[in-house]
């Protein structure tokens, strides 16, 4: 009785099986890669959206508390212009013991001495309010939890300079700076200069006034919006809304590198636009283009405390 010859799997069958298995592995690997890419981009987008919302909400809150833009201590006469900060008649600058030793800031980035209202610089001023240090938890040495609330807390204040009583104002400046670590991107910083300290009745420390804090980083990764006529310029993130001079109506004019000082008093609000680019967290300045995502956000805010609007 003859037996049949038995043989194993042929080389051709092994090759076909290997190709099929490799194809399956390649497909699974691609699916995993796409899943990781989608997850990273989603996280980057969420992170960027959170940062953009924080920035716009911070700006909007400051705008709503403002009573004016630029430097309200200016007279728009001679070299004292309302659209510039600090103006030549600003009492905190002219007093050598006030802001002068601390302006302009040099940490973490160097600021120019003169700042102007523009598409990349927002300057607002708001009232410095009275608060009794004994009611202020931020005053570690004077705060007294059991002390009765001073009824004057929250009242806007004035202070004496020579024979004049000037309105006590706090200045907030938002300014764009190029990001040296990420070419083509910008960082938004916020500087706060407090008004004269009127926190204790009958006592001021105008002569020892200092900046409240060093400028703080609000958001980074800003890449737009850009002016269509200058795509290599600085992003135009601020646009100013004003009352029309010829019509009794609100109008909006596009942001420009220069705001006419005679129109500053007519501004009643600001439109803020941010375009933010977010790479994956670990890529730094060499982000893989596959992981980069862009987020755009727009908001508008008007100052609640409005003075009589007029053209100078």
Mean pLDDT per 10-residue interval, the chain, length 312 residues: 60 77 81 70 72 88 90 69 84 64 79 90 87 76 81 76 79 92 90 69 40 77 83 85 66 59 82 80 52 80 60 38
* pLDDT of the residue at 206: 37
Task: Output the CA–CA distances (angstroms, integers) from residue 48 to 51, 272, 297, in the order listed.
Answer: 5, 16, 10
Q: What share of the chain is helix, strand, coil (3-state, %, to 5)?
A: 25, 30, 45
* pLDDT of the residue at 67: 87
Which of 98, 35, 69 minimizes the C-alpha distance to 238? Answer: 69
* pLDDT of the residue at 200: 44
* pLDDT of the residue at 137: 78
Give the tokens for residue 146. 């059991």
* pLDDT of the residue at 199: 45
Rounded CA separation 178/233 (Å) = 11
Rounded CA separation 73/79 (Å) = 12
Rounded CA separation 32/36 (Å) = 6
């Amino acid at each position: 009785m003859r037996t049949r010859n038995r043989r194993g799997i042929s080389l051709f069958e092994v090759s076909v099986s290997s190709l099929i298995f490799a194809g399956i592995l390649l497909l699974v690997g691609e699916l995993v890669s796409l899943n990781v890419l989608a997850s990273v981009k989603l996280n980057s987008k969420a992170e960027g959206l959170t940062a953009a919302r924080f920035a716009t909400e911070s700006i909007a809150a400051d705008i709503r508390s403002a009573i004016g833009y630029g430097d309200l201590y200016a007279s728009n006469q001679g070299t004292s212009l309302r659209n510039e900060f600090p103006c030549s008649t600003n009492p905190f600058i002219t007093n050598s013991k006030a802001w002068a030793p601390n302006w302009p800031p040099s940490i973490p980035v160097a600021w120019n001495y003169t700042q102007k209202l523009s598409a990349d610089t927002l300057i607002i001023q708001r009232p410095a309010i009275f608060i009794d240090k004994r009611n202020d938890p931020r005053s570690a040495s004077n705060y007294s939890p059991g002390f009765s609330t001073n009824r004057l807390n929250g009242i806007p204040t004035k202070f004496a300079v020579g024979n004049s009583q000037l309105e006590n104002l706090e200045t907030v400046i938002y300014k764009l700076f190029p990001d040296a670590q990420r070419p083509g991107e910008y960082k938004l910083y916020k500087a706060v200069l407090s008004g004269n300290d009127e926190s204790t009745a009958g006592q001021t420390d105008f002569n020892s006034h200092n900046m409240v804090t060093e400028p703080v980083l609000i958001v980074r990764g800003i890449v737009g919006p850009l002016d269509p006529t200058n795509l290599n310029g600085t992003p135009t993130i601020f646009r100013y809304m004003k009352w029309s001079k010829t019509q009794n109506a609100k109008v909006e004019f596009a942001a420009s590198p220069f705001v006419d000082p005679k129109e500053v008093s007519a501004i009643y609000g600001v439109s803020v636009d941010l375009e933010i680019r977010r790479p994956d967290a670990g890529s730094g300045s060499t982000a893989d283009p596959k992981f980069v995502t862009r987020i755009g956000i727009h908001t508008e805010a008007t100052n609640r405390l409005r003075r009589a609007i007029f053209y100078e």
